[in-house]
Chain A
Amino acid sequence: MVIFLIGLAIFTTTPFLGNVKMTEAIMIESLNEQELINLEVPLKEQLVDKEFSTTYGFSRAFIAIYNAKNDELKANEEWSMVMWTKPGTVALNLSRASNDGVVTQNKWLFFFLTFGLGIIGPLFYIIVDLKLKGPPGIKNDGIYHDRATNRGWIGVLTGVWLVTFYILLYFHPYIMSDAISLTDPVKGLFKEGAMASQWFLYGLLYCISMLVMGVRMYIKYRHNKYQIVRTTSVLFFQVIFAFLLVEILPLFGLPGRDLKNAMPLDYTFLYKYNIQELLEAGQFGMFLIIWGFVLSIIVVPTLVYFYGKRWYCSWVCGCGGLAETLGDPYRQLSNKKMWAWKLERWLIHGVLVFAAILTVFVGIHTFTSLNGVNDGEGISTIIGISAFDVRDWYGFMVGAVFAGVIGTGFYPIFGNRTWCRFGCPLAAYMGLVQRFKSRFRITTNGGQCISCGNCSTYCEQGIDVRAYAQKGQNIVRSSCVGCGVCSAVCPRGVLKLENGPEAGRFGNEGPIVLGNDGFQLNQ
């Protein structure tokens, strides 16, 4: 634990360890033509060869100059010269190139001090559980007495850290410039001398968190093969498909894409730049386009019909994967109340509708522009609403705030599947199939339930499993991601995730639970 905290502390202080000095050469190399014309003069006056002790200081100064220039251009209506790239992105590039602090000088060392310690520490901590917690079995002892997992101060602190991390990552990546540069050597393993982006840092961190916490899952559920197989699957898909393939495909001149990412979770799929890039990538690109449609329209619902949405949510999906590994200690914090269920249905289906609208807008725009309508600009405004606006709103509200900041940042407060439960449009889509046309159900074992509440408490999706089980009903709920933990924690062997004929899927329909022969009501 201490080792982990040291690693974390070093990682957290990296933003303060920069030493930024932009030379003229770097400036000229990093900026594009338009930016150079606009910014060369003020930058030379105010920034070049000046030292900053943090990338944050440097970037703030840069962004001020950038915005001032842009405002001036807009005021003068020199639209052709206005710069549309986000200033934060440019600032990140510049500060990455100009940074010469301790961290950037000793990337491997710092990589070890942060990532290395951050891996070794928890592994130790997790592996001693093998001995400490005794023989295999459900060991949820003390979860509600532990300040990390009962929304105590450790949990709150963890949440604050995660939320900060996400806000910086999405909106102010230049502050993390030093942390990003740590991962350069790893990026270099894929491509000599390549520089990592903030998304590379994020992807790497993501995989490592999943792997380390995956080890924890293996140990915690070593008696439960369903959990072992499922964890293996989710780790495999994350590391191979979402991370390695995305890094490796470009080396062969192919577009690096996450093959398992289905619409509408992957809301950028139909974006013009994406389709264009894929079209330009020849056969493999064409394959990706067709695969994208086949996946969403045929593969997804078919598999949901046979196996329930679990095949994706807790076997394949990256968001789900993080939730099931890093998020597992927080699963009990999801809200089980009736009002939360109501809110869930409004929100998630709202996002689904939003995503559908986005898809239509963007689809029309991309299709028309690729077909040369409006000189290749396409139709971007429908009933007075611009496709770009819809895109930006969605990207900001759903993509960044909901999925990232709230979804993951609030693990220690709202539980580990906030995004999957309240926000994910793909989950909503699959949920509808699962609820109305699927062979999947959680079978309740006759009348064996003792209403203890373990299942409901440990359901990360906030399903009140007990409410069904104690009536002898099966659990058929659109939000169930089939993690199997309700079944694992049940002390009386009441629950089993199963696929089977649709007939009788809902189980006991009468008011009387199995075991009472006085009634003919149920027959």
Chain B
Amino acid sequence: MAQIVMSGNHAQSYAAMLARVQVIAAYPITPQTTIVEKLAEFVADGRLPAHYLQVESEHSALQSVVSASALGARTYTATSSQGLLLMHELLHWAAGLRVPVVMGVVNRAVAPPWSIGADYSDTIAQRDTGWIQFYAESNQEVLDTVLQCYRIAEDPAVRLPAMVTEDAFYLSHTVEPVDVPSSELVDAFLPAREARAVLVPGVPARLGSFTGPVEYVGFRHDVARAMDRVLPTLAAVEEDFARRTGRDHGGPLPTYRTEDADAVLVTMGTATTTARAVVDRLREEGHRVGLAKLRLFRPFPVEALRSLAASVDRIGVLDRSFTFGPTGAAAAEVRSALYAGSARPLVADFVAGIGGRDITPDLIARMYAVLDGPEPPDVTWMDLAAPEARADG
């Protein structure tokens, strides 16, 4: 195992190489570009003997890997923002065809107005397509989760596509030390895909063609049941991964200092790192606060949230996007998960960091203060004020 200082994007590329992907198809878009540039380099210099398809759009990129995956290949693609939106139709195809495509997504704001900043609008808008969705907090988690996703996605009990997302710039272009496992270790953890090809060259067949209502319902229900099997599969995969690497990313909803907490903030992605430091500071000041990280958004970790809610009075949810419903998407999912549970703590939504705004320690401390206050509003937009000091020249 070697430590390399690398970006979140290169953590995606290294993971795809270590997974020995056989087909890559991608179309470049900021801030994803360096993922596929690095993979092209690996293919060109022979380190990764894969087919690299240059395509004319994201739609074709996903179509290509869906087809290759249906033929039994292990595949990879990556995109961001508008590119992911252009893939939307094919996202449904990938899940409906039950192909275990793994995709890296750099979370970037959606236009208009034009922006390249971190924001979850792009992937949150795909939560209903049948893809597994992991949101990474660090470059290490990016690399490890991509590897874990191949195991989960290809598991016969699951056979669903998976995306591993990382925050634009806060991970995609941040370099930090990453443990890169040896190829022997990865080969043992992730053997070659069991070539259970759906389509076989020379054997004429149609995939995804017309069905009547009865079969259609059956296929949709199959996807739903496959989604239910992701959580137990993740648990087994993560246990095996931890045994081999010593690293455990804590399942779908890792928590921090929640044991005796009255108020817990639910975070996603890079905001979690900063929030952990804030929790320590507030704890020193005597506040009983904790945090939980939504590492997995699809399937949604309903049971883990319910057991967290059993001991907590108030839950704040940090939404790094807004979906124009009553609350942001993460808060809506948290509420929905808890409504049918036995404990129903107050749930308040905090919209922050959208369009690439910094989620600072002070901003997070203010969320805890609002959560602790007399009547936390349903939704609080945290950063409508201009920042104190700007560093964008």
Q: Do A and B bind each other?
A: no
